[in-house]
Structure 1
Amino acid sequence: MTGEVLAFLLAGALAGGFINGLAGFGTALLALGFWLQVLPPGQAVSISVVMSVISGLQGVWIVRREISTHRVRLMRFLLPALPGIPLGAMVLSMISAPALKLTIAAMMILYGAFFTLHRSLPSIQRPTPVVDSTVGFLGGLLGGAAGLSGALPTMWCAMRPWTKAETRAVLQPFNVVVLALAMVTFALHGQYTPETLWLTLIALPATMIGAQIGIRVYRRLSDARFRRLLIVLLFASGLLIVLRELPALF
């Protein structure tokens, strides 16, 4: 392993862990920006899934009480997502993955830009179990098809007047479970070669440190600032996807 590969690997792990610790998602979006410079795409994605799950588990621990209190709410999102994952994998065989990612990225950019420019954030007060379940299913579908399981749930949760801990108690375990299933799928397909596992072990400490730094910053945010952060990150994530996927169409 060259010094350049090691530097990019550790930088991506630190950045990915930080954003997951801060917001509860986004590990792959940041980490892949570094890792795709020096690693094959399949290997980079396989490592990012492991890092997402591990850093996500740290975030799950800090909102464990809210998860327990609102477990019915979480299940409304999570259970419908499970059948959506294999369906998404089937959909992927019929459509262009870059085109799908760009479509979702455009939604994230429009959503993020619209609410970033508005002083007041949306606040849907009434219970919406049907919409919650639909968003969860679509999140699983997009997770299986394009690895974007958190996009729609994050958009929807940012419009609810929940505390930052309540919001995270949905998003964090949702993403961890979906990505853990993706990790198992990758393992069954032989993605985790000895070399990939070695790189994962090297990246692991930096990811955990980054996540702890992100969690420290998260604790300092007010509920309103956390909701605003989610919206800004959706906008930025959409732009990153466009920059990464647009060349694949040409």
Structure 2
Amino acid sequence: MTPEIALYVAAGALAGGLINGLAGFGTALFALGFFLNVMPPVQAVAVVVVLSALTGVQGLWVVRHAIRANTRRLARFLLPGLLGIPIGVLILSVLDARSLKLVIAGLLILYGGYFSLRAQLPRFERPTPIWDMIVGFSGGVLGGAASLSGALPMMWCTLRPWPKSETRAVLQPFNVTVLTLTAAALALQGAYTRETLIYLALALPLSIGAAQIGIAVFKRLTDTGFRRLLIAMTLVSGAVLLLKELA
């Protein structure tokens, strides 16, 4: 591993871990921009899903009470998401990953830009179980295809009037579960070569440490501040993905 490669891997691990600790998701959105400079898509996704799952476990403890209190809500997202994982893994093997990332980047910029400019955020008060399941399934597909399982659930959860702990109680376990199973599927396909494991050995401790900093910041945020942060993250994430793919 050259010093340049090590620098990209370390930077991606720190950025991804920090945002995962802060928001309960987002490792791929912030880490892939670094990893794809030095890794092919399948290898980059294989590294990111492990980092996302293992750093996310720390955040589960923070919202454990909210998870137990909202298990039915989580199930509406998670069970359809599990069905979407094998479809996403298949897409990763046959579809141009660049096209997928451009579509996601466009959606993130459109959504984040629009709601960043609105003084009052919309709030869908009534239950929407069908839409929750559709969003969960789509997140599972994106998780298997590009380790982007949190993008659409994040966008949807910012429209709900849930406190920050309840929002994270959906996003964090959803991502940890989807990406853990995605990692297992990629392992069965032989994605974890010796080189990939070396990258993981460098990235994992950095990502876990950065996640602890993110968790500390999360505890200080208000509910409104947390929602605003998620929306700002969609805009920044979309811009980072778009600039990376068009560069």
Q: Tell me whether 1:53 sits opposite 2:53 in the alignment.
A: yes
Structure 1 regions of 5+ residues with no counterpart? none
What do residues 49-97 of structure 1 show as CA deviations (whole Å, max 9, x unaligned)?
1111111111111111110110110001000111122233445677544
Give the whole-Å Cα distance in 1 for the aligned partners of 2:148 and 2:204. 22
RMSD: 1.9
Number of residue pairs aligned between Structure 1 and Structure 2: 247
Q: CA deviation at 1:40?
A: 4.0
- Amino acid aligned to 2:116: T
Match of residue 201 from structure 1: 201
Match of residue 30 from structure 2: 30
The correspondence of residues 31-180 of structure 1 with structure 2, limited to 5 A, is 31-90=31-90, 96-180=96-180
Q: CA deviation at 1:42?
A: 3.3
The correspondence of residues 173-192 of structure 1 with structure 2, limited to 5 A, is 173-192=173-192
Segments of 4+ moved more than 6 angstroms: none
Match of residue 15 from structure 1: 15
Give the whole-Å Cα distance in 2 for the aligned partners of 1:117 and 1:141. 30
Q: Tell me whether 1:226 sits opposite 2:226 in the alignment.
A: yes
TM-score normalised by L of structure 2 = 0.92
Give the whole-Å Cα distance in 1 for the aligned partners of 2:9 and 2:108. 27
What do residues 166-207 of structure 1 show as CA deviations (whole Å, max 9, x unaligned)?
000000111111111110111111111123212212222111
Say which is worse superposed, 15-24 or 141-150, in terms of deviation: 141-150
CA contact (8 A) 1:85 1:141 kept: yes
CA contact (8 A) 2:29 2:148 kept: no
Q: CA deviation at 1:152?
A: 1.3
Give the whole-Å Cα distance in 2 for the aligned partners of 1:34 and 1:145. 18
CA contact (8 A) 1:13 1:204 kept: yes
Say which is worse superposed, 91-100 or 60-69, in terms of deviation: 91-100
Secondary structure of the 2:159 match is coil
- Amino acid aligned to 2:51: M
Give the whole-Å Cα distance in 2 for the aligned partners of 1:91 and 1:13. 25
Q: CA deviation at 1:153?
A: 0.8
- Amino acid aligned to 2:81: A
Identity in percent:
58
Give the whole-Å Cα distance in 2 for the aligned partners of 1:42 and 1:110. 27
CA contact (8 A) 1:98 1:246 kept: no
Q: In the superposition, relative to structure 1, how do residues 74 and 91 fare at CA in structure 2: closer, same or farther (>3 Å)?
A: same
- Amino acid aligned to 1:117: L
Q: CA deviation at 1:221?
A: 0.6
CA contact (8 A) 1:12 1:30 kept: yes
Q: In the superposition, relative to structure 1, how do residues 45 and 137 fare at CA in structure 2: closer, same or farther (>3 Å)?
A: closer
